[in-house]
Amino acid sequence: MTTSAELRASFLEYFEQRGHERVVSSPLIPANDPTLLFTNAGMVQFKEVFLGRERRDYSRAVSSQRCVRAGGKHNDLENVGYTARHHTFFEMLGNFSFGDYFKRDAIEFAWDYLTGVLKLPPERLWVTVFTEDQDAADIWLNELKVDPSRFSRCGAKDNFWSMGDTGPCGPCSEIFYDHGPEIAGGPPGSPDEDGDRYVEIWNLVFMQYNRDAEGKLTPLPRPSVDTGMGLERLAAVMQGVHSNYDIDLFRSLIAAAAEVTGCGDLGDKSLRVIADHIRATAFLIVDGVTPGNEGRGYVLRRIMRRAIRHGYRLGCAEPFFHRLLAPLIAEMGAAYPELKAGQAHVERIIKLEEERFAETLEHGMRILEEAIAGMSDGVILGETVFKLYDTYGFPTDLTADIARERGLALDMKGFESAMAEQKERARAASQFGATQSLEIEVQGETDFCGYDRLQEEATVVAVYKD
Ligand code: ATP
Ligand code: MG
Ligand code: MG
Ligand code: MG
């Protein structure tokens, strides 16, 4: 079996042998980029190089980049536990050309690596190009002789990439793996492409144009290449399993999660969520985020509390989440020494958050259960969602996660008006000089101020939304 660690090494080595500089993963907090919540792709640390604002002494690079997609433009949090292929934290393998090679080499490298080095059968692969990208189509069909019946042209939604509203952009070519007819889902570009049968493994982006403020595209003098392949998805393919959660690394983490929670069913969805979330949690803390009530810290808190609630669902009354750090280090510590170095700190932060949430989790769950037992229309009242949020520290997405498990919906409109009412009360109170007593009252029930936090959340949404 090819382990995840061996695949990472093999990819880096393949491109290093072809003149690429091996660049270490950058942290999850992007340097100098306040518009981006977390590093969500391999290209992030090279953004300035692609824009021509920064020079490096190499024009080809290869990396295995740690990524988090749990907020902002790319948010896969809601997919975790539901699809076979999405994580909040994952590693993106990528090769990059900064005005050096372009389409032909990028495509040839990718095909050679998959079919030549990893020996994947071409009849299990599927290739897409952007509808208007005839150059890429010619290379795939005429030069590499890819089977035209396993090839499709897709529109801009999936196959045209841009860095922002202006700046470098260009067509993509994506490579999918066909996990076989036993799994539901159609090929890319077909009406039922959303299934899990054809899994996208590698995205090749050809940065070919510059888009100006009027939307006009002009060819870049030195086009570039940015590619990204999910290590966990590739490992699933190479290990002959369909779900990322069945690869070596996740099997160990899931077994460890089963042990610390006392769950006897290794297939339980909550174990997958916990195994996913310990990675995001540990790496975010190592990279300097701490759970808090705003911005990145609040995203981390949401991830942690979701995991803690899944442990609670499995019957865990004691803090368990921090105990997964040692098993995570056993899996990933060699590739990421910072994880081992930060072990004590990370464990402490996680345990603190577990203890903190334990103070309100059980009571909040009781309130939610009562509300669910007493309702008739399958919708959890906005007032309840707000009370859980404001008094019991349940982020709304955590309540939504529970609702989804049970086929229920949340009344988010009602939640928002409950919030607006509370803000109004706070405002009125402050006009009469009574803020202090209100704050004390709020803090008596919980240790943070609900409306402040929400304001922050609203800001985060406004700032980081597409
Ligand atoms: P998908 O369509 O499956 O959501 P994507 O098009 O959003 O993937 P890209 O932005 O093209 O993904 O990222 C490049 C590669 O990174 C993907 O081809 C995939 O292998 C991997 N990848 C993307 N998102 C995730 C995730 N949430 N978990 C694991 N791997 C991912
Ligand atoms: Mg996606
Ligand atoms: Mg995609
Ligand atoms: Mg893609």
pLDDT tens, position by position, 13-70: 999 999 999 999 999 999 978 879 999 999 999 999 998 889 999 999 999 999 999 9
Q: What is the pTM of this model?
A: 0.91
Instruction: Among 85, 237, 247, say which to mutate for ligand 1: greatest number of ligand atoms within 8 Å of CB.
Output: 85
pLDDT of residue 346: 98
Q: What is the mean pLDDT of residues 141-148?
A: 97
Spatial distance between the Cα atoms of 199 and 204, rounded to a whole number of angstroms: 15
pLDDT of residue 128: 98
pLDDT of residue 433: 57
pLDDT by residue (tens digit) across 392-404? 999 999 999 999 9
Residue 161 has pLDDT above 60, yes or no: yes
Residue 89 has pLDDT above 60, yes or no: yes
Residue whose tokens read 């940015």: 226
Smallest CA separation from ligand 1 atom 12, residue: 203
Confidence of residue 432 (pLDDT cuts 50, 70, 90): low
pLDDT by residue (tens digit) across 276-299? 999 999 999 999 999 999 999 999
What's the chain's average pLDDT? 91
pLDDT of residue 462: 29
pLDDT by residue (tens digit) across 182-215? 999 999 989 888 888 999 999 999 999 999 999 9
Instruction: Among 158, 176, 200, say which to mutate for ligand 1: greatest number of ligand atoms within 8 Å of CB.
Output: 200
Smallest CA separation from ligand 1 atom 8, residue: 200
What is the torsional sign of CA 165, 169, 170, 176? negative
